[in-house]
Amino acid sequence: MNYNKKTVKDMDVKGKKVLLRCDFNVPMAKDGSGVITDDKRIRAALPTIQYLLDQGAAVIACSHMGKPKGEVKPELSLKPVAVRLAQLLGKEVIMAEDVVGPDAQAKAAALQPGQIMLLENTRFEKGETKNDPELAKAMASMADLYVSDAFGAVHRAHASTAGVADYLPAVSGFLIQKELEVIGGALANPKRPLVAILGGSKVSSKIGVINNLLEIADTIIIGGGMAYTFSAAQGGKVGDSLLEADWEEYANDMVKKAQEKGVKLLLPVDTVCADAFAPDAKSQVVAAGEIPDGWQGLDIGPATIKLYCDAVADAGTVIWNGPMGVFEFPAFAKGTEAVAEALSKTSAITIIGGGDSAAAVQQLGYADKMTHISTGGGASLEFMEGKELPGVACLLDK
């Protein structure tokens, strides 16, 4: 896939109506009060929005929220987003009552340069997730140009993320531009050594990533729940730990492939195991592959922490995706915390691949020490797998 895409700066947007796909899928308070509990994704869209408005464009922003499955669900309305966005921009955000219905069409037609409006949740339309050409055409009919800035959604071929590009010239916003430059650069031409840290619960969800990284990385570090599948594959005892028995053969293949390619594949040498999956469970440190029956591994042990932190100390580039243990339980967060701290101290280019790793880095206060924190969990994973991302492939090449 070509990562060198045209951006908003390559287009004359003055006096144009711009359909801007954002990722406003923000977490909301569970009590139905319409309170946004974290506005990070809205703030992330501000540079592109502000640039378009300053250049004299009329902005028609759109996004999905949640999974309404083609039905109008008031609790998943983007109205609270419009309110927050207006506060952040210091100007009115006109809210449409629908996506491509009469209200959206009328408000888009009346929109003047320097004004911004927000369409209702794109997934209120049944055709959105099916990439329905009629819906894409109707959305495109309101604008002169399409700008994609929702990296968290580019791995999906939906009407608002890919389909509209069939009917409008399509370019990236600043958010996607940075993702493509940083992650694309790390994959295509990394500063070496390239160290990839992969955690999380399942081997099955990281197969493509491990496979692709075996072609380009110098060191691959495995942590989290998926380490126990590797351990079991090598004859280790994993007790009641998370285990994907169907993937043991695959895990052994990866170890073999790493040896053949001269890639260092680091697996835990010790484990913090517990007698229950609970924040206050009784715990002990055991050697990897020696977890007693009835116990389960919930974090990497101290010797593994040292091994992993040493591996990133002299790295040129580090990509991290997935925690090292059950980091939502403080007693089993030490591995994840130590890796985050090690990354904050290294002079390497540090890329955090969204999701739980991003949450961990933010919570621990190391966010400003990282080179780049991806705004898309699933999208950054598929990017690292070397897959074509439909919402990027549809943009104009430079």
Q: How many CB atoms lie within 10 A of CB 75?
A: 10
The CA-based dihedral angle spanning residues 111, 112, 117, 120, taken in that order and rounded to the nearest 10 degrees:
20
**Residue corresponding to tokens 């206050």:** 280
Q: Which residues, at least 6 apart from 74, have a Cβ–Cβ distance to it below 8 Å?
A: none
pTM for the complete prediction?
0.86
Q: Is the bond preceding residue 193 a cis peptide, omega within 30 degrees?
A: yes
Active site residue 206: no
Select which of 6, 178, 202, 237 is catalytic.
Answer: 202
Are 60 and 111 a contacting pair, CB within 8 Å? yes
Select which of 354, 355, 376, 391 is catalytic.
Answer: 355
Beta strands of 88-158 (E only): which ranges? 93-95, 116-118, 145-148
What pLDDT is stored for residue 311 in this prediction?
Answer: 95
Closest CA to 88 of 29, 45, 118, 57: 45
Select which of 130, 378, 386, 387 is catalytic.
Answer: 378
Active site residue 301: no
Q: What is the DSSP letter of 27?
A: -
d(CA 348, CA 191): 8
What pLDDT is stored for residue 288 in this prediction?
Answer: 97
Are 307 and 338 a contacting pair, CB within 8 Å? no
Domains and CATH numbers, the chain: 8-175 (3.40.50.1260), 184-384 (3.40.50.1260)
What pLDDT is stored for residue 375 in this prediction?
Answer: 81
Are 367 and 359 a contacting pair, CB within 8 Å? no
Q: Which long-range contacts (CB under 8 A, 24 or more apart) does 245-254 make?
A: 246/204, 247/203, 247/204, 247/207, 250/203, 250/207, 251/203, 254/210, 254/211, 254/214, 254/230
Active site residue 378: yes
d(CA 115, CA 232): 59
Active site residue 41: yes
List per-block mean pLDDT (blocks of 10 residues) for the chain, which spans 398 residues. 91 98 94 88 96 98 96 95 98 98 98 98 98 98 98 95 98 95 89 94 88 94 96 97 95 96 97 97 98 98 98 95 93 95 95 84 92 85 88 96
What single string gives the DSSP state of each residue in 257-309? HHHHHT-EEE--SEEEEESSSSTT--EEEEETTEEPTT-EEEEE-HHHHHHHH
Q: What is the DSSP letter of 7?
A: B
What pLDDT is stored for residue 127 in this prediction?
Answer: 97
What pLDDT is stored for residue 8 in this prediction?
Answer: 98
SS3 210: helix
**Residue corresponding to tokens 């959604």:** 153
